[in-house]
Structure 1
């Protein structure tokens, strides 16, 4: 497990304190849900409203397509996406973007 990036954890805590709902949207496989929850909890991310992972139907889709579809579902459910952050452009681009997006640096890898 990698430790949380301290500024990201502080932002997450502030967002919760302000009363916003937090959805965690990841391209990780649904089979990794329990270990993902364990890692998030150990890193300090202990509360969220939804954790969305990729199930077998979405395997093979580009990350930007998968995440756009999931954001679209959020909007259809009546949510407004106010802010979005991610270390990949596929986290931020596509359909139903947020009012504000925050690209985090990641020099290690790129996901289309």
Structure 2
């Protein structure tokens, strides 16, 4: 077996953080919504992301903004108007994660059959 070169610990940490962010259900749903709609206000995101609490939506959007996935634009009007849009980095992640959806679509029946087979084994 060929020895792999050592990895950069900073890159390792970043990969772990990003995998944690991407594995977060709400982040992926918000990325999907923002990919489809391009730009949304907070209320639109709350309505489109069924089941998310206001607190979780706020926390998730802040984390996405911190990681450079989302731009938050505040307009100086009354009442306040705030819009969210994916950055190029967020759009790139959306494209990368599109592969997972394509894989799931292509393998749906196989996975469902495997789950039925597994459940049948558990009953014995």
Larger of the two Rg values belongs to structure: 2
Instruction: Report the structure, 1 or 2, having the larger helix content.
Output: 2
Question: How high is the TM-score relative to the length of structure 2?
Answer: 0.25
Instruction: Report the structure, 1 or 2, having the larger strand content.
Output: 1
Question: How high is the TM-score relative to the length of structure 1?
Answer: 0.27
